[in-house]
Amino acid sequence: MADINAIAKQFTDFYFTTFDSNRGGLGPLYRDQSMLTWEGTPIQGSKNIVEKLASLPFEKVVHKITTLDAQPSSPTVASLIVSVTGLLLVDDGANPLQFSQTFQLIPDGGSYYVLNDIFRLNYGA
């Protein structure tokens, strides 16, 4: 298997740069069987996922990644789990929001697609 940390870094750089500049451009990363759980709400299929991401109630967002961890997710397929934590700066707000996001990436030709994607804001108690 290729260096999973390098794959995870390349994927997250692309994902969050695209999310921050053109959420609709994330469509090719998902498939019909892909599942996004956004703050506890499950959404299935590339079209539905992109519609959800495009309809989020903010104009501008910047992701600042704090941690990035990756592990192989199958002994027989070159798939991986990627866990990200970081900060979201929304609409030039002064108070960043903490978030965590986990992806399961599945090989597809010379690239990967997102089979599973779980997003949560992390609120302090």
Domain boundaries, the chain: 4-121
The class level of CATH for 4-121 reads alpha beta
Neighbours of 106 (CB within 10 A): 19
Q: Which residue has the tokens 């390349």?
A: 10
Type of residue numbered 45? G
Answer for the pair 42, 63: CB distance below 8 angstroms, yes or no: no
pLDDT at 66: 97
Give the predicted TM-score (pTM) of the model: 0.93
Band (2; pLDDT cuts 50, 70, 90): low
Asked if 99 contacts 121 with a C-beta cutoff of 8 angstroms, the reply is yes
Q: What pLDDT is recorded for position 8?
A: 96
Give dist(CA 97, CA 63) in Å, integer. Answer: 10
